[in-house]
Amino acid sequence: MKFTSQLILPVLILIGSFFTSSAMACTTSFWNGGEIGTLEVGSPLAVSRVSGECAMKIVDNDGGVIDNSPSTETTANIRFYVYADLNSGAPVIFEAYSADTAGGTLLASVTFNGTNFVFDAGAGASGNVPGTAGWNLVEMAWIGGTSMDYWVNADSTSTAATGSVTAAAGTMESVVLGAVSTIDGSLTFDSYEARRLSPVGALTMGDANSDDAINILDIGVITSEILLTGLGQGQPDCNSDASVNILDIGCATNIILSAP
């Protein structure tokens, strides 16, 4: 069976199964391990997002979602986006475990202090890996007992890994996305996806109508969102600063004008 899951999809979908699923509302119900702590799942303007109309936000609390659908996985390719507005601290934002409901051995974790990430796969941890002030693309290719390559704001389908750490032996049975302890500030997550073998890759920022191209139609969609007459179903936040505004029109325009 294909090993895949998504956290945020267009049209208010929040999914968390390692296998293909679908839903018709902004919900965490497909994360079959349930929620932890306090979180908000919603749409702009209350919750910024990368893609579609839905994302998950944690404010001044702990909160997240657990997925128990991995089944003795020896490999995992994982992607998500995170935006941090933290006053202090370096919270854990992702964990993978060897047993359901975040039990057993901790196999992998990611921390983020709003400036730097740290990746730990149980047998080795990275140093500080710089992020950005806006949305950050995080990708991991984990192989139990071997290694975990990671990408930060780089596309795993076309770019060499940002770095790699040694991975402890074990099989993956559970993942947690969110803040596993109380935070000072806020964290927002979007577009989680996991696969067994193939890398996931980045979304195309600026493709506001999700037609796999950036053109004048996307500028129209971005303009509609700025005027509060509609939300883009694709990725209208062209410059990834966690806000859709006139700067995204300029970003999309520059992409169009620079196209061959």
Contacts 24+ apart (CB under 8 A), 110-113: 110/138, 110/140, 112/82, 112/84, 112/136, 112/187, 113/84, 113/86, 113/89
Do residue 175 and residue 241 come from a single domain?
no
* Tokens describing residue 66: 């657990």
Give a yes or no: residue 209 inside a domain.
Answer: no
Contact between 177 and 189 (Cβ < 8 Å): yes
What residue type is 206 in one-letter code? G
Q: Are residues 147 and 231 in the same domain?
A: no
**Looking at the structure, do residues 50 and 156 belong to the same domain, yes or no?**
yes
Supply the CATH number for residue 183's domain: 2.60.120.560
**What is the DSSP track for 101-116?**
TTEEEEEEEEEE-SSE
207 in any annotated domain? no
For residue 26, is it within any domain? Answer: yes
pLDDT in tens, the chain (260 residues): 234 444 333 222 333 444 333 334 688 988 999 999 999 999 998 999 999 999 999 999 999 999 999 999 999 999 999 999 999 999 999 999 999 999 999 999 999 999 999 999 999 999 999 999 999 999 999 999 999 999 999 999 999 999 999 999 999 999 999 999 999 999 999 999 999 999 999 999 999 999 999 999 999 999 999 999 999 999 999 999 999 999 999 999 999 999 87
In a domain, 211, yes or no: no
Question: 210 lies in a domain?
Answer: no
For residues 142 and 110, membership in a common domain is answered with: yes
The pLDDT value recorded for residue 29 is 85
Claim to verify: residue 188 and residue 223 sit in the same structural domain: no
Judge if 253 and 135 occupy the same domain: no
Q: Tokens 């941090």 sit at which residue?
A: 84
State whether 67 and 123 are in the same domain: yes
How many domains does the structure of the chain reveal?
A: 2
One domain, residues 48 and 170: yes
The answer to whether position 88 is within a domain reads: yes
Q: Would residue 205 count as lying in a domain?
A: no
Domain span at residue 220?
A: 216-258
Does residue 171 share a domain with residue 43? yes
Does one domain contain both 63 and 172? yes
Q: Is the pTM of this model over 0.95?
A: no
Residue 203 lies in a domain: no
Are 162 and 55 members of one domain? yes
Co-location of 104 and 231 in the same domain: no
